[in-house]
Amino acid sequence: MLIVAACTTQSDVEIEPPIKARAQQEIKKEPKPTTSVIPSSTPRSSPVIDLSSTPISMSLSGGKSNVPSSEPTVTSVLSEKDIINCTFQEEQLKVSCVAEGHHVGTELSWSSNATSRTGGGAIFDFILEEDLLEIHVFLETCLNSDCQEEITVLERAMKKEEEDSLGEILTLPFMKLPFTAAHEPAGIMPMGETIEHPPPKSPEGHPGIDFQWNHQAPIVAVSDGKVVQITSNVHKETEIFNLSVSVITEEFIVNYTTLESIAEGLEVGSDVVVGQVIGYPTPVQKGADWYMIHWDFGLYEKHAPITDPEGLVTEYTVTRLCPVPYFTEPERERVLRIWRHAFYGAKEQFPELCNGSWKNYEVLEEDETSLNPVGKATPTAESISKPILILPFTSEHVPSEMLPMGETTLHPPRPGEKAWGHPGIDFIWHHKAPIVAALDGEVLHIITERNTGISGVIWYTVQVKTGEFVVNYNVTEFESITPRLKVGSKVTAGQMLGYPSPITEADVDVGTHSIHWEFGTWEKVSDPKPNPEGIIEHYRTTRICPVPYFSDSERRTLLKIWESAQYNEKDEFPDVCNGPYKNY
Strand order in the sheet with 94-100: 73-77, 83-89, 94-100, 123-127
Query: Do residues 522 and 538 make contact, with C-beta atoms less than 8 angstroms apart?
Result: no
Grade residue 369 by pLDDT with cuts at 50, 70 and 90. Answer: very low
| Domain presence at residue 4 | no
Could you report the per-residue pLDDT of 127-171, keeping only the tens digit for each?
Answer: 887 777 778 888 888 888 888 888 888 877 655 554 444 444 434
Please answer whether residues 154 and 88 qualify as being in contact, where contact means their C-beta atoms are separated by less than 8 angstroms. Answer: yes
* Cα–Cα separations (whole angstroms), residue 320 to 39, 111, 412: 10, 26, 56
Band of pLDDT at residue 194, cut at 50, 70 and 90: very high
For 240-252, how does the pLDDT look when each residue is reduced to its tens digit (9 = 90+)? Answer: 899 999 999 989 9
Whether residue 580 has pLDDT greater than 80: yes
Final residue of a domain: which of 94, 123, 156?
Answer: 156
- As a whole number, mean pLDDT of residues 296-323 equals 83
The pLDDT value given to residue 420:
85
The reply to whether 468 and 408 lie within a common domain is yes
> What does the pLDDT average to over 459-486?
89
**Where residue 229 sits, what CATH number does that domain have?**
2.70.70.10
Give me the domain span that covers residue 137. 53-156
Task: Kindly report the number of other CB atoms within 10 A of residue 406's CB atom.
Answer: 23
**Domain membership flag for residue 104:** yes
420 & 345 share domain: no
Residue 531 lies in a domain: yes
Does 329 share its domain with 422? Answer: no
The confidence band for 373, taking pLDDT boundaries of 50, 70 and 90, is very low
- CA 50 to chain centroid: 31
| % pLDDT > 70, the chain | 77
Using CA atoms, how far apart are residues 391 and 111, in angstroms rounded to an integer?
Answer: 53
Which long-range contacts does 534-540 make (Cβ < 8 Å, 24+ apart)?
Answer: 535/447, 535/449, 535/461, 536/447, 538/445, 539/444, 539/445, 539/463, 539/470
Does the pLDDT value for residue 215 go beyond 60? Answer: yes
Reported as a single tens digit per residue, the pLDDT across 318-351 is: 889 999 999 988 888 899 999 998 999 899 999 9
pLDDT higher than 70, residue 37: no
What's the sign of the alpha-carbon dihedral 24, 27, 28, 32?
negative
Q: Do 229 and 333 belong together in one domain?
A: yes
Indicate whether 341 and 464 sit together in one domain: no
Q: Is residue 540 part of a domain?
A: yes
Shared-domain flag, residues 137 and 221: no
Residue type, 506: A
Q: Is the pLDDT of residue 256 over 80?
A: yes
How high is the pLDDT of residue 286? 86
Residue 545: partners with Cβ closer than 8 Å, 6 or more residues away: 405, 406, 519, 576, 577, 581, 582, 583, 584
Last residue of a domain, one of 363, 392, 411: 363
pLDDT of residue 65: 34
Q: What's the pLDDT band for 575 if we cut at 50, 70, 90? A: very high
**Pick from 520, 324, 317, 307: which is nearest to 423 by CA?**
520
> Is residue 372 included in any domain, yes or no?
no
**Chain-centroid distance, C-alpha 339:** 17
Same domain, 453 and 359: no
Alpha-carbon distance 580 to 583, whole Å? 8
CATH number at residue 114: 2.60.40
pLDDT in the model for residue 395: 84
Q: Which stretches does DSSP call E strand in 193-312?
A: 209-213, 219-220, 225-234, 241-249, 252-262, 271-272, 277-283, 291-307
pLDDT level of residue 233 (50, 70, 90 thresholds): confident
Confidence bin at 416 (pLDDT 50/70/90): low
> 69 with 206, same domain?
no
Residue 38's H or E segment, with its range, is none
Mean pLDDT, residues 38-56 taken together: 31
Q: State yes or no: pLDDT of 390 exceeds 60.
A: yes
Residue 147 and residue 188 in one domain: no
Count of structural domains, the chain: 3
d(CA 377, CA 188): 28
Residues 205 and 261 grouped into a single domain: yes
38 inside domain: no
Q: Does 66 reside within a domain?
A: yes
Residue ending a domain, choose from 363, 391, 414: 363
State the DSSP H helix or E strand holding residue 576, giving kind and residue range, or none if neither: none
> Which DSSP string corresponds to 84-131?
EEEEEETTTTEEEEEEESPPTT-EEEEEETTEEEEEESSEEEEE-SS-
Kindly state whether residue 369 falls inside one of the protein's structural domains.
Answer: no
Whether residues 185 and 152 share a domain: the answer is no
What mean pLDDT do residues 475-495 have?
88
Residue 365's pLDDT is what?
52
Q: Clarify whether residues 102 and 135 are in a common domain.
A: yes
Pick the most confident of 370-379, 443-452, 514-523: 514-523
pLDDT band per the 50, 70, 90 thresholds, residue 75: low
Distance CA 274, CA 547 (A): 22
CB atoms within 10 A of CB 490: 12
Q: Is the pLDDT of residue 30 over 60?
A: no
